[in-house]
Amino acid sequence: MSLEELVVTAPFGGKELARIPSPPAEDVETAVQRAVLAFEKTRVIPTFTRVAILRTVAAELERRRDDLARTIAAEAGKPLKAARAEAERAAATFSAAAAALEAQKGEMLPLDVNAASLGRWGVVKRVPLGPVLAITPFNFPLNLTSHKVAPAIAVGAPVIQKPASKTPLSALALREIVLEAGWPADAYVVLPISGAAAEGLVLDPRLPVISFTGSGAVGWRLKSLVPKKRVALELGGNAAVVVHSDADLDDAARRTASGAFSYAGQSCISVQRALVHRPVLEAFREKLLAAASTLVVGDPLDEKTDVGPMIAPAEAARVEAWVAEAVAGGATVLRGGTRVGECLHPTILANTTPSMKVEAQEVFAPVVTLNAYDDFEEALRRVNDSKYGLQAGVFTRDLARIQRAFDVLEVGAVLANDVPTWRADRMPYGGVKESGSGREGPAYAMEEFTEPRLLVIRS
């Protein structure tokens, strides 16, 4: 990549997909100026018009699903069937934003709680803070973009987006659809610029809201640079699943395999740590190995593929080294551990320890560790023994254990009888500890992008 041009290549095979001019500094400055001016228009667009735009985008995303899926598969290396599901989810995200906008309510606040306030009452409404700077990752280039653009449109805020350098095509396609739906051109700009250039946007006081999804190192640094801004961070994790002896082991094993290995594990909520009640460890292990053995690894454009390439050969090499390091420390490879180019075969490790990188860090790859526990409380402690806290899954038929997990686990969401990899696009999604701050899901992101304003009326 040069300073003047972004070359987009396919992760699988290295085919050149596109050459996109990188805008010079003066064009970036112009984009910010136009977004600021556009805010004066978007903040007063009527609710029914914003709803119509959101629903039109949703319908068009659904109509173009297959074309968008091929774009996602080509630039991100996501298996075609998973890419198709992502396009459908993006449509659902815009629909959820429309529904959340229609459901918004103001608040009437009685103020005459003492004699000095007699005759006064208040009205509270939420107003947009200003243009939103959206910084998006490669792994869900369409839907994670939608999670920033749809709520911004809903509240009447312009968006300036910096997509991942490896996956700008999905964002550019979404912008085309959004503008065709009637959103002002200056109110949604995609800037394929470097991370260093994006830092200037982060510091720009005219962009009061930052919505970032990506690595923890980058996210927390950006937040430290602008302590007075509204900054929402969706960062990484090393998600755990607990499988107790009373669980449906067939279901738990199938879902764990899917949650660990789909899209080569390149999701911040991929199953990375599987903790299994010792009495059923052997049975679960065999079922997990069997489920993993059915997965097809290879070309993401092949309809049969379940596990495609990692985003870059260097990432596959990194994970291969982490696995080798774990083995040197006493871990056992039950399956996988090898790679061919960008493809890392689904890998299951046993006898790992919390200090190993494959447990302690975010592996972001098709790797899961498998270890036993003797007591449910021990399992919960081990889930919490992490600097991350995004989501966790618990498989058990015991409602008391589910309630205990809900009370104790230090995560943004607990999923009962499911893996942490599951997400509905309208739910509040986000983490605690080093997994981030703030919440996504259109209704919740709309709160992140706005602030309450009070009108006091004296009668």
What's the rounded Cα separation, in Å, for the pair 278 and 245?
8
H or E element at residue 147:
helix 143-155
Token pair belonging to 419: 């893996």
Using alpha carbons, select from 211, 43, 50, 48 the residue that is nearest to residue 127: 43
> Side chain identity at 165, as an amino acid letter?
S
Cα 446 to chain centroid distance, Å, stands at 16
Burial of 419 (0-12, 13-18, 19+ CB in 10 A): buried
Which residues are bridge partners to 107 per DSSP? Answer: 124
Token pair belonging to 352: 């790992």
H or E element at residue 200:
helix 195-203
The angle subtended at Cα 162 by Cα 175 and Cα 26, nearest 5°, is: 95
Cα 364 to chain centroid distance, Å, stands at 13
Q: How far is CA 111 from CA 106, 347, 444, in A?
A: 16, 61, 27
Q: Is 8 helix (H, G, I), strand (E, B) or coil?
A: strand
Contact yes or no for 123/447 (Cβ under 8 A): no
Catalytic residue annotation: 234, 268
Q: How far is CA 59 from CA 174, 180, 331, 458, in A?
A: 12, 12, 49, 46
What's the rounded Cα separation, in Å, for the pair 77 and 79?
6
Contact yes or no for 441/429 (Cβ under 8 A): yes
Contact yes or no for 346/297 (Cβ under 8 A): yes
Q: If phi over 0 gives left and psi between -120 and 50 gives alpha, with beta otherwise, what is residue 438?
A: left
What's the rounded Cα separation, in Å, for the pair 234 and 430?
6
Cβ-count burial 295-307 (b if 16+ within 10 Å, e if not): bebbbbbeeebbb
What's the rounded Cα separation, in Å, for the pair 265 and 316?
11
Q: Which residues contact 164 (CB under 8 A, 6 or more apart)?
A: 136, 137, 138, 141, 214
What's the rounded Cα separation, in Å, for the pair 445 and 225?
22
